[in-house]
Amino acid sequence: MDPSPRLSHAPYPAQPAVLEEVCAAAPGHLVTAFAFALSRVPEGARPVVFFATSRAWLAEHGRPYGRGLTGIDLILAVANTGAEGLWAMEQALRSGAVTLALGGIEAASLAQTRRLGFAAQEGGAVGVMLRLRHGGLSAARRRWRIASVASAMDPADLRAPGAGRVGAELVRSRSERPGLWMLEQADETHRLRLADRLAGDGPGAIGRTTLAA
């Protein structure tokens, strides 16, 4: 990412598309990318999340800690191969039983992602591909690049960290212009929202806080 990025003045697309791709800016930002992917549950919907991945992915990146996912019902499906994980994700999307199906799978062809998009439309769910590698053909309607950002200061104690923050860059979309937004976690809903001090202020430098490359 640009070492001195400027925030977008365009509206943040909070409502997810039927199929999106979320890429970590670097391996160290994968946890932040995972948190952003979980936030793509539509506003007001019950967050029932199906996470399909492979044993190799979990061995490299670790297993999500369910008790730390406040307000989310997480179903973890561990496959032997990426192809099996994609099949499980497709079935979950089509079932109508989940709100969001997340795939921790790096290798997926254009045809496979098209199938995921059709399954999501059929089941009324949202599909998100969580990846480290960028580029490649995909049927995803949005591609995000996610980076960790220094947290805000706690207004009650300036020596303490405040709300966690995320730098979300929309690098490709079928319906919006690319842009960059700084998001923070809301204490009440645990969802990501535009950082309070930046919402509605138009484009501007992040200042002392920069997005990690």
What confidence score (pLDDT) does residue 40 get? 94
Segments of the chain with pLDDT less than 70: 1-5, 160, 162, 187-190, 196-213
- DSSP for residue 29: G
In this prediction, residue 4 carries a pLDDT of 43
Helix (H, G, I), strand (E, B) or coil at 211: coil
**In the beta sheet, which residues pair with residue 74?**
49
> Is 102 within the bounds of a domain?
yes
pLDDT at 79 (0 to 100): 96
Q: 20 in helix, strand or coil?
A: strand
pTM for this one? 0.84
CA distances to 25, 94, 107, 120, 181 from 12, in Å: 19, 28, 28, 22, 7
Tell me the Cα Rg of the chain: 17
CATH code for the domain in which residue 121 is found: 3.40.50.300
157, part of any domain? no
Range of the domain at 45: 19-144+174-179
| Other Cβ atoms within 10 Å of 121 Cβ, number | 14
Q: Is residue 131 part of a domain?
A: yes
Q: Residue 92 in 3-state DSSP?
A: helix
Q: How many domains does the chain have?
A: 1
pLDDT at 188 (0 to 100): 67
Q: What is the pLDDT, as a whole number, of residue 95?
A: 96
CB 141 within 8 A of CB 175: yes
Please check whether residue 12 lies inside any domain of the structure: no
Element (H, E) at 55: helix 55-61
| pLDDT score, position 208 | 30
